């Protein structure tokens, strides 16, 4: 009887872990143009090293699909731009978006990286 309960508990644990551990494969589609399946006409590479991005600002065009590629040069970092529905790191290093709003959007590091983490900020500027 105890072996049966232990076996059942082990099977249930495996099922729970399998459900929780799967990668999210759903396509994002929402405001600010997250576009799964859209071919990008431009590419933007953003590089991060300890406590800084490679540029203080990055420029995009409104309505133009762009493949944003994240490269981790030094340390463990990521990028987060909530208004553009953009979050990239070493596991998910690229995403195609089509910005649909003009403006300046703050980009910050999405992975706590140490004492300089809070100053690791840049801008993505979307222009007409």
Please answer whether residues 95 and 66 qualify as being in contact, where contact means their C-beta atoms are separated by less than 8 angstroms.
Answer: no
CA distance 98 to 86: 11
- Tens of pLDDT, residue by residue over 36-54, are 667 888 999 999 998 899 9
Higher local confidence (pLDDT), 7 or 15: 7
Q: Which pLDDT score is estimated for 11?
A: 61
Report the distance separating Cα 58 and Cα 86, nearest Å: 14
Global pTM reads 0.69
Secondary structure class of 35 (helix, strand, coil):
coil
Contact 88, 82 (CB under 8 A): no
Domains and CATH numbers, the chain: 42-126 (2.60.40.420)
20-24: long-range pairs with CB below 8 Å, 24+: none
pLDDT tens sequence across 91-116: 999 999 999 999 999 999 999 888 88
């Amino acid at each position: 009887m105890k072996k049966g309960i232990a076996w059942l508990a082990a099977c249930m644990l495996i099922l729970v872990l399998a459900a929780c551990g799967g990668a999210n494969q759903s396509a994002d589609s929402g405001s600010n143009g997250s576009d799964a399946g859209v071919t990008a006409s431009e590419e933007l590479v953003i590089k991060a090293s300890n406590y800084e991005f490679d540029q203080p600002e990055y420029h995009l065009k409104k309505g133009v699909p762009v493949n944003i590629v994240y490269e981790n040069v030094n340390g463990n970092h990521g990028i987060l731009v909530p208004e553009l529905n953009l979050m990239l790191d070493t596991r998910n290093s690229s995403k195609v978006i089509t910005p649909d709003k003009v403006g300046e959007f703050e980009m910050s590091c999405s992975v706590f990286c140490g004492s300089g983490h809070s100053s690791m900020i840049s801008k993505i500027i979307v222009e007409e």
